[in-house]
């Protein structure tokens, strides 16, 4: 069993700026996972944006707190706490924090190296 806390050194050491706007950290990734790409968390400040980008893997963004405008491909929707957003592999996606507080997101990704 592996248990990781957001304050663990292994998590804090992975802190990076994700796609121009969010402060992100890898909670679990290729270092321990075998069939899941990664589990990451990200904090998106008020008015900040995870800029439009394309990833080679399927992802799920789960809004833990806050709100924003999520765009996947040509579809844009207002998202709030408790929403899970499916992002198909190869789809352009972005998230703009439109709320008054930080938006905290969990991101789960499939391993890009596994193909049908």
- pLDDT value at residue 114: 56
The CATH classification of domain 15-109, taken from the options 3.60.20.10, 2.60.120.10, 3.30.505.10, 1.10.3720.10: 2.60.120.10
Which tens digits make up the pLDDT trace of 67-113? Answer: 999 999 999 999 999 999 999 999 999 999 999 999 999 999 998 66
- Is the pLDDT at 115 greater than 60? The verdict is no
| Contact (CB, 8 A) for 16 and 40 | no
The sign one gets for the Cα dihedral 32, 11, 102, 57 is negative
Percent of the chain with pLDDT over 70: 96
Q: What is the mean pLDDT of the chain?
A: 94
- pLDDT value at residue 31: 87
């Amino acid at each position: 069993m592996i248990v990781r806390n957001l304050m663990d050194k292994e998590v804090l050491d992975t802190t990076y700026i994700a796609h121009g706007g969010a402060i992100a950290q890898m909670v679990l990734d290729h270092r321990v996972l075998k069939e899941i790409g990664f589990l990451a968390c990200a904090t998106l400040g008020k008015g900040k944006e995870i800029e439009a980008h394309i990833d080679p893997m399927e992802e799920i963004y789960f809004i833990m707190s806050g709100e924003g405008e999520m765009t996947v491909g040509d579809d844009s929707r207002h998202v709030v706490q408790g929403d899970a957003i499916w992002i198909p592999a190869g789809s352009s996606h972005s998230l703009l924090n439109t709320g008054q507080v930080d938006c905290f997101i969990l991101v789960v990704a499939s391993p890009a190296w596994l193909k049908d």
